[in-house]
Chain A
Amino acid sequence: MTRSNTAAIEAAQIRCDPVRRDFWGLLLLAPALALLIGLFAIPAVYSVLGALTGKAGGPSLEHFRTAIGLYGWDIVFTAWLVCLSVAVIALLAILIAGYLTLGANRLAVRALAWLYRWPLFVPMICAAQMMRGFLAKNGMLNNALVASGALSPTTTTSLLDWRGILITFVWKQFPFVTLLLAGAMASLDRNMIEAARDLGAGRLRVLFGIVLPLVRAPLLVGCVLTFVTLMSVLSVPVMLTADSPTMITVDMAYRINTFGDYGTANALGVISYLMTMLAAWVYLREATRERR
C-alpha cells in the first residue's frame, strides 16, 4: 500500500463517526470473543476456583496439600523433564539453524533443510506410537546399535522410561523451534557474518558470538511455546511408560477418571499454570533485558 493511499483511508476513517466504527469492528469480533470467553476464560476461572474451594465449600488449600502430598515428586519430575526437553530442543535447533545459515556446502545445507522438517506436523500421539516401537528393547534403535557393534544383544535395554518421553518430545518439537530460528537467521544482515568470517572467526564462534545474540527473541518465543505445549501432553507419558514418577498430566486424568476428584486435579492444573507463568516471566525478563 502506498503512503498516499494510507493517508486517504485514514482521512476517510476520520470522517466516519468513531463510535459507529468501533461498534462494527467489535460486532465482527464478538463471535470469536464469545468462544474465547465461554471455552477458555470461564473454564480457567473454574479451574482456579475449584482448586481453592475445600470439600466443606469454603476457601481452602486442602487440595494443594493433597496434590503435593500424593504427587510432589511428579511435580518436580514434570518440571525437570520439560525443562530438560526444552534445553535439548533449543541446542539442537541452534546447531541445525546455524548450519543452515553458515554452512558452506550448498548441497549439505539443502539436504539438512529437507531432512529436519519431517516431524513438524506429526501428531504427538503418532510420535508416541512410533517411539513405542523404535525405543523398545527389540526396537530399531537397539537393533541399529547392535548392528554397529556398540551394544551386544544381551546388553540392550528398553528406553521406554523418562528417556523415552524426552526423546519423543525432542523428536516432535525440535523442527518447530528450528524453523522459527532458521527463519530469523535467514533475515539477518549477511555482510556482518561475512565480515566476521573474513576476519578469521570460526563458524561456531560466529554462531554463538554474533548470530545467536541477534535471534534470541525468536528462540525464546519458540522455547516458551514448546514449554507450554509439553506441559499439557497426556498421550506420550501414558503410552510410553507406566513408571513412577510420571508427568502431572497423567495424574490429573487419573484423579478425574478414577475418583471424579476435580479438586486435586484442579490443584495440579493450577500448579501447571504457575510453572508456565514462571517460564513466561523468565521470557519477559530476558526480552526486556535485551531491549535495555
Chain B
Amino acid sequence: MPQDVAELVAAAKHGDREAFDELVRVTYADTYTLAYRLTGNEEDARDVVQEAYLRAFRGLRRFRGDAQFSTWMYRITANCAATQLGKRARHRHDELDDRAPVADPRLDHDPQLRADADDLRSRLHAALDALPPRLRAVVVLRDVYELSHESIAAELGISESAAKVRLHRARHKLRDQLFPRRDGEASRAV
C-alpha cells in the first residue's frame, strides 16, 4: 500500500477504501489537535473529527489537489467545529484544565531558554482557552495553521473583513494576557 499522503489521496479518490483508512491513520492526531484547539474540550473535538472525516470521505472526489490534503482537512475541521460550537448553548471553561499530554519534538537543550519557552507556551494555552470561541477559532486558524483570511472566512461563515477584525481583537487580548501592563499603563482601545 502506498504511504505518501499524495499517493494515498490519489488511491482513495479512485475508490481505494484501505488508502482512505490509511490517510485517516496518518492524519487523525493532527486533525484532533486542531479540533481540540477550536472547541476547547475533548468530547466536542471527538465529534468534530468524526464528522470531518465523514465529510472528507464523501467529498474526496471534489478535492482537486491544488492545496495540501492537510490544509483541506483543516478547512473541513474548522467548518465542522463552527457547526459544533454553534450547537453549544454554553461554554465549558471548567473542563479545560485537563489538557491531553503534549508531545513536542523541538526540545531545547538550554534549560533557561526552555523554561522561558515552556512558561510562555503554558501562559499562551491559558490565554487561548480564555478567549471567546469565535475569536479563538480565527486566531488559531490564522496564526497556528496559517490559513488565508479568505479560507477562514469561508469556513466560519463570516465575511473576510469580520475575520480580520476578530483576528486583531484576538491578538490584542492574547498580547494583553501574555504581557500584562504595569500599573498605570493603560491598554489601547481596540
* Chain A bound to chain B: no
